[in-house]
Amino acid sequence: MIGRLMRRKLRRDSAISKGKGSAHNFDADAEDYERRLDEGLAISGESSMFFAKARIAWLATRLRQLKFAPETLLDYGCGTGGSTAFFAESLGVRSIVGLDVSPKSLEKARTRHASACIEYYLTQEYTPRANIDVAFCNGVFHHIPPADRQNVLRHMTSCVRPGGVLALWENNPWNPGTRYIMSRIPFDRDAVMVSARQLRNLATAAGLGVLTTDFCFVFPGPLQGLRRFERFLTRLPLGGQYLVLCRKGHATISMSK
DSSP string, 41-104: HGGGT--HHHHHHHHHHHHHHHHHHTT---SEEEEET-TTTTTHHHIIIII--SEEEEEES-HH
Q: Is residue 169 part of a domain?
A: yes
Q: Is residue 28 part of a domain?
A: no
Confidence (pLDDT) at 256: 55
Confidence (pLDDT) at 250: 62
Instruction: Name residue 35's amino acid.
Output: R
Cβ-proximal residues to 89 (8 Å cutoff; 6+ apart), any chain: 56
Q: Is residue 86 part of a domain?
A: yes
Q: How many CB atoms lie within 10 A of CB 222?
A: 9
Confidence (pLDDT) at 25: 63
Confidence (pLDDT) at 85: 86
Q: Is residue 18 part of a domain?
A: no
Q: Is residue 131 part of a domain?
A: yes
What's 62's domain CATH number? 3.40.50.150
Cβ-proximal residues to 197 (8 Å cutoff; 6+ apart), any chain: none
Confidence (pLDDT) at 28: 58
Q: Is residue 13 part of a domain?
A: no
Domain, as residue range, for 161: 42-248
Residues 186 and 253: their CA atoms lie apart, in Å, by 38
Residues 146 and 19: their CA atoms lie apart, in Å, by 7
Confidence (pLDDT) at 29: 61
Confidence (pLDDT) at 100: 95
Q: Is residue 257 part of a domain?
A: no
Q: Identify any residues that bridge with 137 across adjacent strands, giving them in sequence order.
A: 168
Q: How many domains does the chain have?
A: 1
Buried/exposed 96-113: b ≥16 CB within 10 Å, e otherwise? bbbbbbbebbbebbbeeb
Report helix, strand or coil for 132: strand
Q: Is residue 26 part of a domain?
A: no
Confidence (pLDDT) at 14: 38
* Residue numbers in the chain where pLDDT is lower than 70: 1-32, 250-257
